[in-house]
C-alpha cells in the first residue's frame, strides 16, 4: 500500500467532507431558524413610535420583577420620552399571570404587581406618573421559553377621555387602611434583601403619597424574638429606617413619613418585615 493517497482518494475525501459540512450546517441553521420563528415578539406601535423585537419583558414563574438588559432600559426610556412629548396620551399596562403561579407580593394580584413593577421602571426613566395606568388579568396561555414567561405585561396607548384601567391610586383608595408588606430574610435589614424587591412598590407609593395632599405613609418595622436574640442590633428599627431612607432619598417629603418599630415576642418569621400603611 502506498504511503501517499491517490488523487481519486483525495477527491473522494473532499467530496465526503463537503457533503457532511453542508448537511450538518443546513440542519443546524434549520433548527436555529425554527427557534427564531417560535420565539415571542414584542411590539409597540402608536403614531411615530415603532418598536418590534424579541420579547422585551419576561418573568420567572411566580415573580413580579422583569428580566431586563441594557437594551430594554433604552426602550423604556424611549417610551418615557414619547409620553412626555405627547401630553394627551396615556399608557396602559396590563399585567398577566397564570393560574399555576403563586403570589408572594404585597399586591392582591401577581399580574398587578408585574404591571406596577414595569410602571416603576418607567417612572425611573422619566415617564409622567399621572399618565400610566395599571390593571391585571389571569390567563392560561402565557408563553414559556427556557423557564421564563413571556408576554406577561401588555402595553397599549390611548388618547385622553377614553376609559382607563384602574390605577394604583384607585386600587388603594378602594381598600380602607390598605397595608403593603416587605418581607426580609431572618437577621437581615438591607432593602435589597427583601423577597419582593422593594423599589417598584416603594416608587409607586412615593408617587401616590407625594401627589395627594392629605396622604401620609406609616412605616412600621418588625422583628421576631429569635433573630433579635442573635443580633447585636435592633432589626425592627433598622428595617424601618432602611425603608424610610429610600422614601426620602427618592423624593418623598419627610413630613409625609411616620416611622415606628415593634420587637415582636413571637419567634415566627412572619414578623421579619416592614409594613407600609397609607393614611388619608
Q: Are 223 and 264 in contact (CB under 8 A)?
A: yes
Smallest Cα–Cα separation from 220: which of 278, 171, 280, 173? 278
Residues 6+ apart with CB under 8 A from 94: 111, 115, 134, 135, 136, 137, 153, 154, 156, 165
Average pLDDT, consecutive stretches of 10 residues, N- to C-terminus, the chain (280 residues): 56 59 45 43 77 77 85 85 88 89 84 89 83 86 80 83 43 55 87 71 80 85 86 87 89 89 73 86
Query: 159 and 52, same structural domain?
Result: yes
Query: 50 and 143, same structural domain?
Result: yes
Q: Kindly report the CATH number assigned to the domain that includes residue 221.
A: 3.30.1330.60
pLDDT of residue 168: 46
pLDDT of residue 239: 92
Query: 180 and 166, same structural domain?
Result: no
* Interstrand relation of 148-150 and 143-145 (parallel, antiparallel or unpaired): antiparallel
> Which one of 150, 170, 190 terminates a domain?
170
For 53, list phi and psi in degrees, rounded to 5: -170, -170
In which domain, by residue range, is 65 found? 41-170
pLDDT of residue 243: 92
- In terms of Cβ atoms closer than 10 Å to its own Cβ (0-12, 13-18, 19+), residue 2 is exposed
Query: 160 and 86, same structural domain?
Result: yes
The answer to the question of residue 36 being in a domain is no
Query: 157 and 262, same structural domain?
Result: no
Query: 150 and 197, same structural domain?
Result: no
Domain count, the chain: 2
Q: pTM of this prediction?
A: 0.48
pLDDT of residue 34: 42
pLDDT of residue 240: 92
pLDDT of residue 11: 64
Query: 271 and 196, same structural domain?
Result: yes
Amino acid at each position: 500500500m502506498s504511503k501517499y493517497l491517490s488523487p481519486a482518494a483525495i477527491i473522494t475525501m473532499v467530496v465526503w467532507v463537503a457533503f457532511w459540512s453542508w448537511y450538518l450546517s443546513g440542519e443546524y441553521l434549520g433548527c436555529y431558524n425554527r427557534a427564531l420563528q417560535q420565539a415571542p415578539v414584542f411590539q409597540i406601535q402608536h403614531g411615530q413610535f415603532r418598536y418590534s423585537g424579541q420579547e422585551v419583558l419576561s418573568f420567572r414563574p411566580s415573580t413580579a420583577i422583569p428580566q431586563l438588559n441594557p437594551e430594554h432600559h433604552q426602550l423604556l426610556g424611549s417610551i418615557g420620552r414619547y409620553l412626555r412629548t405627547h401630553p394627551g396620551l396615556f399608557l396602559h399596562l396590563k399585567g398577566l399571570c397564570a393560574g399555576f403561579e403563586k403570589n408572594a407580593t404585597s399586591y392582591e394580584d401577581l399580574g398587578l404587581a408585574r404591571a406596577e413593577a414595569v410602571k416603576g421602571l418607567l417612572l425611573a426613566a422619566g415617564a409622567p406618573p399621572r399618565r400610566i395606568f395599571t390593571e391585571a388579568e389571569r390567563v392560561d396561555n402565557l408563553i414559556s421559553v427556557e423557564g421564563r414567561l413571556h408576554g406577561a405585561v401588555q402595553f397599549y396607548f390611548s388618547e385622553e377621555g377614553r376609559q382607563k384601567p384602574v390605577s394604583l391610586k384607585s386600587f388603594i383608595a378602594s381598600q380602607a387602611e390598605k397595608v403593603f408588606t416587605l418581607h426580609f430574610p431572618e437577621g437581615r435589614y438591607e432593602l435589597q434583601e427583601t423577597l419582593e424587591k422593594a423599589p417598584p412598590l416603594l416608587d409607586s407609593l412615593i408617587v401616590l403619597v407625594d401627589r395627594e395632599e392629605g396622604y401620609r405613609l406609616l412605616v412600621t418595622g418588625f422583628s421576631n424574638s429569635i433573630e433579635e436574640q442573635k443580633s447585636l442590633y435592633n432589626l425592627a428599627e433598622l428595617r424601618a429606617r432602611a425603608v424610610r431612607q429610600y422614601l426620602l432619598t427618592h423624593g418623598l417629603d419627610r413630613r409625609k413619613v411616620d416611622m415606628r418599630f415593634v420587637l415582636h415576642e413571637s419567634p415566627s418569621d412572619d414578623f421579619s418585615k416592614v409594613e407600609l400603611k397609607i393614611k388619608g
